[in-house]
């Protein structure tokens, strides 16, 4: 029998789930919900990669709830903690209407190219007319990789020669998308130049082209992050968001880490929804992120 998406995610996130549940239950066995308990809880949440800021916020909310309700049992407190985390990850994203230009950003190595391919495949199966733009003209073989994926998926690609101006590729792609009445144009971008300043300037330039030429399109800037890098992923998101307004996040490699708690930290601190999570290499391994189900899974 075919597994549901929830069952597949649960099976893939076993490292994160076991890490979180074991650490939290160890703290709960302290018994008394006193200052020592909250200090221990905060440290534990940080160790599960929720980050200091989110951990402090969670602990303070839980302390307030316990005082208000005079809770005495571990079950009550676990229930409160679950509710707090669920509220924390319930962030509304902007509507994704078509036609849409999706600019995909992220550092090299996070799975950006394969994520673009998976998204293109998903949208095509939904009956959308999809086009991809090979806007990462700096990384060796980036265009070739995307071209190979576009052939497999069966979508059109707009490309140029290695080292060409990425903005010109995106400009041409937008013109082609308009002419061919494309529903979704997915634009790849560079993940590394020889320094961060140059990379951010390049992304700003592409963003200006998209905003200027994308009249009539819904513009959606999607950032791809690698869950295995933990808090470093959050730091990357902040840097990119300062340069290009990120409206959604894809968290990849969630199946290979115990640091899945970073998902909660990212949503809480950035107030940007995680739209998809990657739990494997296959096209169907990019699944829509359901915040409530994710938190439920941590407490199973």
Give pLDDT tens digits for 158-204.
998 777 888 999 999 999 999 999 999 999 998 875 567 888 899 99
Give DSSP secondary structure letters for 267-288: HHHH---EEEEE-SSSGGGEEE
The neighbour count for residue 67, using CB atoms within 10 Å, is 10
The pLDDT of residue 103 is above 90: yes
For helices 142-153 and 112-125, what crossing angle results, to 10°? 20
Question: How confident is the model at residue 61, as a pLDDT?
Answer: 95
- Contact between 261 and 231 under an 8 Å Cβ cutoff? The reply is no
pLDDT tier at 106, thresholds 50, 70, 90: very high
Query: Residue 232: pLDDT above 90?
Result: no
- Say yes or no to pLDDT of 3 above 50: no
Determine the average pLDDT of the residues in 240-261.
84
Could you tell me how far CA 78 lies from the centroid of its own chain? 26
- Banded pLDDT at 2 (limits 50, 70, 90): very low
> What is the pTM for the complete model shown?
0.89
Question: Is pLDDT at 40 greater than 90 in this prediction?
Answer: no
Q: CA angle 155-157-162, nearest 5°?
A: 150
Structure tokens at 139: 């990384």
Domain boundaries, the chain: 100-246
Q: What is the mean pLDDT of the chain?
A: 87
Hunting for tokens 């308990």 — which residue is that?
A: 37
CA distance 294 to 12: 12
List the Cα angle 17/258/105 in 5-degree steps.
115
Tokens of 209: 């082209």
Would the pLDDT of 283 be above 80? no
As a whole number, mean pLDDT of residues 245-254 equals: 91
Cα gap 121→134, rounded to integer Å: 16
Query: Highest mean pLDDT: which of 109-118, 185-194, 286-295?
Result: 109-118
Q: pLDDT confidence of 1, banded at 50, 70, 90?
A: very low
**Residue 250 CB partners (closer than 8 Å, separation 6+):** 115, 222, 223, 224, 225, 274, 275, 276, 277, 278, 286
Measured CA to CA, the distance from residue 12 to residue 8 in angstroms comes to 6
Class of domain 100-246: alpha beta
Banded model confidence at residue 272, pLDDT cuts 50, 70, 90: very high
Would you state the pLDDT for residue 224? 96
């Amino acid at each position: 029998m075919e597994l549901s998406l929830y069952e597949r995610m649960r099976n893939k996130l076993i490292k994160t789930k076991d890490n979180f549940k074991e650490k939290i239950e160890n703290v709960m066995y302290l018994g008394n919900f006193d200052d020592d308990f909250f200090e221990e809880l905060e440290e534990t949440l940080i160790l599960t990669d929720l980050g200091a800021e989110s951990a402090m916020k969670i602990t303070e909310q839980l302390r307030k709830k316990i005082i208000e309700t005079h809770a005495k049992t571990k079950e009550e407190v676990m229930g409160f903690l679950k509710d707090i985390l669920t509220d924390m990850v319930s962030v509304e994203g902007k509507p994704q209407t078509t036609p849409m230009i999706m600019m995909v950003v992220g550092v090299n190595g996070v799975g950006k190219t394969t994520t673009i391919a998976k998204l293109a495949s998903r949208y095509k199966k939904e009956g959308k007319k999809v086009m991809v733009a090979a806007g990462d003209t700096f990384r060796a073989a980036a265009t070739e990789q995307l071209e190979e994926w576009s052939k497999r998926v069966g979508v059109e690609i707009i490309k140029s020669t290695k080292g060409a101006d990425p903005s010109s590729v995106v400009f041409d792609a937008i013109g082609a998308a308009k002419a061919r009445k494309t529903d979704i144009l997915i634009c790849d971008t560079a993940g590394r130049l020889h320094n961060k300043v140059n990379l951010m300037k390049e992304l700003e330039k592409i963003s200006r082209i998209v905003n200027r030429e994308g009249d009539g399109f819904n513009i959606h800037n999607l950032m791809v992050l690698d869950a295995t890098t933990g808090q470093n992923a959050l730091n990357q998101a902040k840097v990119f968001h300062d340069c290009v307004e990120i409206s959604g996040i894809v968290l990849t490699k969630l199946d290979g880490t115990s640091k899945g708690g970073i998902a909660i930290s990212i949503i809480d601190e950035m107030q940007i929804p995680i739209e998809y999570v990657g739990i494997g290499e296959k096209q169907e391994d990019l699944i829509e992120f359901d915040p409530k189900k994710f938190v439920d899974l941590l407490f199973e």
